[in-house]
Amino acid sequence: MTEQERIEELRTALHQHNYNYYVLSTPTISDQEFDALLRELAELEGRHPELFDPNSPTQRVGSDLTNDFETVVHLRPMLSLANTYNQEEVRAYYERVREGLQGEDFEICCELKFDGLSISLHYEDGRLVRAVTRGDGVQGDDVTANVRTIRTIPLQLSPGAGWPRSFEIRGEVLMPWNSFEALNREREAAEEPLFANPRNAASGTLKSKQASVVADRHLDAYLYYLLGDEVPADGHYENLQAARTWGFQVSEHMRKVRSLDEIFDFINYWDVERKNLPVATDGIVLKVNSQRQQRALGMTAKSPRWAIAYKFQAEQQSTVLREVTYQVGRTGAVTPVANMDPVQLSGTTVRRATLNNADFIAKLDLHLGDHVLVEKGGEIIPKIVAVDEAFITEERGPRVEFIRHCPECGAELVRYEGEAAWYCPNDAGCPPQLKGRIEHFVSRRAMDINTLGPETIDDLYARGLIRNVADLYDLTVDQLSGFGDTRIRSARKTIQAIEDSRQVPFERVLFALGIRFVGETVAKTLARRFHDIDTLSRVSLDELLQVNSIGQAIAESVIRWFADMDNIFLVERLRARGLQFQLSEQKLAEQSDRLAGKTIVISGVFAHHSRDEYKALIEQHGGKNTGSISAKTSFILAGDNMGPAKLEKAQKLGVSIVNEDEFLKMIEKD
Ligand code: IVH
């Protein structure tokens, strides 16, 4: 067997194992065996760049590079559904269908309404060629690179399964509850803003500029609509059953019914049972099953007449507001929290609910002692949606006024332009901010001093032993332990972990410092671009804005951080303790400034490296990659099949075109 044949064999086998594992949940080989095959494939592909395939199973991990989404016009517009909220309207829909079909028999397909974001997938010759978000229904974003990381979406359909040569299939991209909860736990630990619900998390993730972020976050997808000129059957249900055999994840909970009673049974069953599903749903979708009948019924301007969505009621309860308290986060943002009489909601006892921000409180015209309606919909955190008018009396308690001073340190609160939150500006002295920064610093993805939990930090803070992250490096075993064997042992472990953190690479140290808006990705970008903290501390706003994916807010925040002498002293103390403040030798060796000042557009298909690899190379050598050609473009790195529109624009603007080999020469070491 040639290496090329082995590559093909491995790809086919791995696609099948992926499907067995992720869609069918019945793997036929062990994880180790799977990894071994994947490694073998990656190695062979490395030796044969000419056989690169974006749909190879090795591409599921996503790359680290920035995606610019292209806007794509949908071949068929992506309509939305008319919503109904009660069973009367469902009855009316059913009657309309019956009348529209003039007495002909019909079947209704009942489905769950998944709460994520819709996606359109195109397959040609059994290969995923494009994935586009709904956008405005007429055009959406091309998110193919991100979608490739979703394991339940097949990249390559098994040969001979009977799929049409060309078709479109639509469905919902979701974040399962368990991934959502894990993600939020991580974000909480890093004091990053939480996602309110799995839909926002899925949508934020799918539109992420980095496919590797998407790969880490475990999205899932259910497909619910097959379109094309050669679909196998007239029945929508039958088409989806066929699609399942081709490798798509199709819900097992779809049912075909012939009466209104059966529809109501389906609705009533899932209104309760949906709480046990691994993914969020917000209703039921009803569709006339026959496509011939669908065409006969047609559509209104916005939505098809043959389908309708029935939305579940979010569970609501009325209770009494007793007190509003305020929480100060690591960034100083102050969040108001309603404290209420306990009430049962979706199976849990709720005592506290978020009030978002000052504007929200004012809009509700909230008074202490008011009866309020609390809701727990798709959101994890309960929220107050309204004052329960039924209970409003002449004599209300005092009106809730947002505080003016920090509840923790007394500083006068401030509001930044364009932000809804009030902030405590005392970042150098406000205890939750100081403790929060330390917690962030020691967190797993930062310095990974994982033996220091929030309680120990609280304790050390209360005893006056730590005020900032540099103080950690002065701690002694004695200070950390009280009496007793175990405490001494765990104190030693902590000291060791603090010691070990000196080896943490610069990009993570930069993230650990907790500069506002400098998350893991931005920290990496800044480290790669500026190499060490001294250079970074001296860059100008303009230089920062020149860097790919660094916007105004991030740039200003970096400048502000380094303008504060306390931070400079902090860096000096940490440096004296041996922390890494420059890129490692190895990472530095890979860098150069051969493309400094160059703005480069990538277009077409390449033989030696993938597009993402070229983006990385451009950044590594100090250049900037942008999506569209303008007068500022230095040159276009062009592969095969560069689009005619781009070519024309390049000629018009006199932008030169560089081919792959020429480009690789440009960045070669002399
Ligand atoms: S069918 C023309 N089926 O709900 C039919 N949609 O407003 C188009 N959705 O944008 C959609 N689960 O994102 C359909 N089983 C399901 C669905 C579903 C969720 C979403 C979809 C669509 C929105 C309808």
Residue 327: both structure tokens together: 């929480």
Domain spanning 431-503, CATH architecture: Orthogonal Bundle (1.10)
Domain spanning 314-426, CATH architecture: Beta Barrel (2.40)
Q: What is the pLDDT of residue 329?
A: 87
As a whole number, mean pLDDT of residues 608-633 equals: 83
| Least confident range of 164-168, 175-179, 187-191, 342-346 | 187-191
As a whole number, mean pLDDT of residues 376-401 equals: 83
- Pinpoint the alpha helices (H) of 372-476: 431-442, 454-462
pTM: 0.59
As a whole number, mean pLDDT of residues 580-609 equals: 85
Burial of 390 (0-12, 13-18, 19+ CB in 10 A): exposed
Nearest residue (CA) to ligand 1, atom 6 = 113
Could you identify the atom of ligand 1 that is nearest to the CA of residue 81? 7
CATH class of the domain comprising 3-61? mainly alpha
* Per-position DSSP letters for 295-346, written without gaps between them: HHH-B-SSSBTTEEEEEPPPEEEEEEEEEEEEEE-TT-EEEEEEEEEEEEET
Could you identify the atom of ligand 1 that is nearest to the CA of residue 282? 19
The pLDDT tens digits for 504-534 are: 999 999 999 999 889 887 898 899 889 999 9
Could you identify the atom of ligand 1 that is nearest to the CA of residue 251? 15
As a whole number, mean pLDDT of residues 470-475 equals: 96
Ligand 1 within 6 A of 330 CB?
no
Residue 564: both structure tokens together: 């504060």
Topology of the domain comprising 506-589: DNA polymerase; domain 1 (1.10.150)
Element spanning 523, H or E? helix 520-530
Ligand 1 within 6 A of 111 CB?
yes
Could you identify the atom of ligand 1 that is nearest to the CA of residue 116? 13
Residue 466: both structure tokens together: 């730590």
Could you identify the atom of ligand 1 that is nearest to the CA of residue 117? 13
> What is the residue whose two structure tokens read 């400048």?
559
Ligand 1 within 6 A of 285 CB?
yes
- Is pLDDT at 484 greater than 70 in this prediction? no
Residue 454 corresponds to which amino acid?
A: P
Is residue 113 part of the annotated active site? The answer reads yes
| Three-state SS letters, 128-184 | EEEEEECCCCCEEEECHHHHCCCCCCCCECCCCCCCCCEEEEEEEEECCHHHHHHHH
Ligand 1 within 6 A of 199 CB?
no
Tell me the pLDDT band of 483, cut-offs 50, 70 and 90: low
Assess if CATH 3.90.550.10 describes domain 83-311.
no
Nearest residue (CA) to ligand 1, atom 2 = 79
The pLDDT tens digits for 299-330 are: 887 789 999 999 988 778 999 999 999 999 88
Tell me the pLDDT band of 195, cut-offs 50, 70 and 90: confident
As a whole number, mean pLDDT of residues 342-358 equals: 86
Q: What is the pLDDT of residue 322?
A: 96
Which residue ranges does the chain devote to CATH 1.10.150.20?
A: 431-503, 506-589
Ligand 1 within 6 A of 172 CB?
yes
Separation of CA 288 and ligand 1 centre (Å): 14
Residue 23: both structure tokens together: 């869609």
- Is pLDDT at 661 greater than 70 in this prediction? yes
Ligand 1 within 6 A of 606 CB?
no
The pLDDT tens digits for 111-155 are: 999 999 999 999 999 999 999 999 888 888 999 999 999 999 999
Q: What is the pLDDT of residue 60?
A: 79
Which residue ranges does the chain devote to CATH 3.30.470.30?
A: 83-311
The hierarchical CATH code for the domain 592-666 is 3.40.50.10190
Nearest residue (CA) to ligand 1, atom 16 = 113
SS3 670: coil
Which residue ranges does the chain devote to CATH 3.40.50.10190?
A: 592-666
Mutate to test the pocket of ligand 1, among 114, 286, 287 (most ligand atoms within 8 A of CB): 114
Q: Indicate the average pLDDT of the chain.
A: 89
Ligand 1 within 6 A of 215 CB?
no
